[in-house]
Amino acid sequence: MKYDLHIHLKYSSDGVLDPEKIVKIAAKRGLNGVAITDHNTIIGGLKRRTMKPKILR
C-alpha cells in the first residue's frame, strides 16, 4: 500500500489544489490514499470527507 502522508490543499497557505484534483492525481500515481495536512484549518479534510468515496487503488 502506498500513501502520501503530507498533502496541502488550497485551503492552506502553501497549497493550490482542491480535494477533487488531489484524489485524481493520487489515483493516477498509484496511491491508496492521502493525508490532508493543511495549516491552521480542517476545511479541506472536511470537504474531502463529504465527497463521494473513491477507492484510489
- Domain that includes residue 21, residue range: 3-50
Query: How many domains would you assign to the chain?
Result: 1
What DSSP string runs through the chain?
--EEEEE--TTSTT----HHHHHHHHHHTT-SEEEE--SS--HHHHHHHHSPP----
Within-domain flag for 13: yes
Within-domain flag for 27: yes
With 70 as the cut, is the pLDDT of residue 20 above it?
Answer: yes
Within-domain flag for 22: yes
Within-domain flag for 9: yes
Predicted confidence (pLDDT) per residue in 31-52, tens digit: 988 999 999 999 988 988 888 7
Within-domain flag for 55: no
Within-domain flag for 56: no
Within-domain flag for 46: yes
Within-domain flag for 45: yes
pTM: 0.76
